[in-house]
Chains A and B, each alone.
Chain A
Amino acid sequence: MLTDARRAALFACWFSAVTSAVFFVTGVVALPVPLYVPLVHRWVMSASAAEQLGPLGSLTMDYFGRSLLAVGCGAVTTLLGMICLRLRHRTSSLVDGKSSPGTSLKPSPIQLQLALAYAVTAFLLCAALFAYKLYGREPSSPVLPDPSPTSADRLP
């Protein structure tokens, strides 16, 4: 866990900004992501499963794959950033001959302002994109057999 609030703020903004940016890209470009096909209980790595699985493959769920990709990219880049900062701090400590942890390599106010601005902008842009895409979207599910119970089903 980070002990300095400034570094924590920088990495929190970085995680949010990268996740929102990657999620935005998955909403614009049909990337090959893990698709779940609920009617055949299968995972497919593709942008579309219809051509691989026939009619049942037209009912797919890309939400899991897109979410995993976005959150995974955000988490991995944040962890890499933390490791790089730690290594850089150790290197500079060795060069300077100082061993006081947490006294150097803290983000400046300008860096924090920029990080916060990027995170907020990416979040708002991504939320606006999905609001725009989903507002008035036409139904896309394949026609399945009528599930309404018949009068015989209602009888005890």
Chain B
Amino acid sequence: MRRPFGRYSEQVPPVFLQSWGPLLVVIHALSAVVLCGASVHQAVLATLLLLRRAVRGRLLRVYSVTTLLSYLATVTGGALLYPRYRVVIRALFLDQNAPWAANLFDFKENLATLGLPLAVGALLLAMPLSQRCARISPTPGDVVTDADPAADSDAAADSQRLASLTFLVMALGTALVAVTNLIAGLVCTAVRGA
């Protein structure tokens, strides 16, 4: 006798979007790969900005928007998949055979929630910082000049530098969360796939 499509056992009630699981996992994984690429690029740009190297303001905006959109897409995909994971993957398999993988997966989910404000914060900071990049003209040696027209005092210059440092922390945090979660997700999927 054949089971209904997407059901692992007729004795277990079906869960939300159970038959769409494999397709959602692929979309979730693809958006996570995009997120990793965009967030790492954003972190590199933030490092260059703090080191006062020449950075294109447009790139800063593009990577920040891409990071946040892919983060939201990944989180939404993961949230749609979560009921299916909780019953079909975790309750029926991981808890009995590989509890460490279930714990790793739950840590990844919690880390994703903590990383969301970092991605939002990076976008909030990227917009004014990219405008500032456009105002500062790079020298021939590809190094941005120290004089910032917006910085009217030493305190303002310190604050601007702190804003760049905050952007680096937010971008680096987002990239670390994205890369850690991608690796953790691949490990869990290797233990028990979709």
Contacts and interface: CB of A to CB of B under 8 A. Distances in A.
Nearest to B106: A134
A131 interface: yes
A137 B118 contact: no
A19 B83 contact: no
Contact of B125 (A5, A108, A119, A120): A5
A12 to B, nearest CB: 3
A145 B92 CA distance: 8
A16 B117 contact: yes
Tell me the interface secondary structure of chain A in the complex. Answer: helix
A142 B90 CA distance: 11
Contacts of A108: 155, 159
Interface residues of B, number: 61
Contacts of A67: 113
B82 A64 contact: yes
A147 to B, nearest CB: 4
A12 B124 contact: yes
A50 B64 CA distance: 42
B1 A116 contact: no
A15 B106 contact: no
A74 B116 CA distance: 11
A127 interface: yes
Given A5-B125, A9-B166, A59-B87, A141 B116 contact: no
Given A71-B117, A123-B173, A130-B107, A141 B90 contact: yes
Given A63-B109, A131-B107, A109 B158 contact: yes
Interface of A: 1-6, 8-9, 11-13, 15-16, 19-20, 23, 27, 36, 38-41, 56, 59, 61, 63-64, 66-67, 70-71, 74, 106-109, 112-113, 115-116, 119-120, 123, 126-127, 130-131, 134-142, 144-147, 149, 152-153
22 contacts: A3-B127, A4-B128, A5-B128, A5-B163, A5-B164, A12-B120, A12-B121, A12-B122, A61-B86, A106-B159, A109-B158, A113-B162, A119-B169, A120-B169, A126-B110, A130-B107, A134-B103, A134-B106, A138-B99, A139-B99, A149-B3, A153-B2
Given A23-B110, A147-B93, 9 more contacts: A5-B160, A6-B163, A11-B121, A15-B121, A59-B87, A63-B113, A112-B163, A115-B166, A136-B103
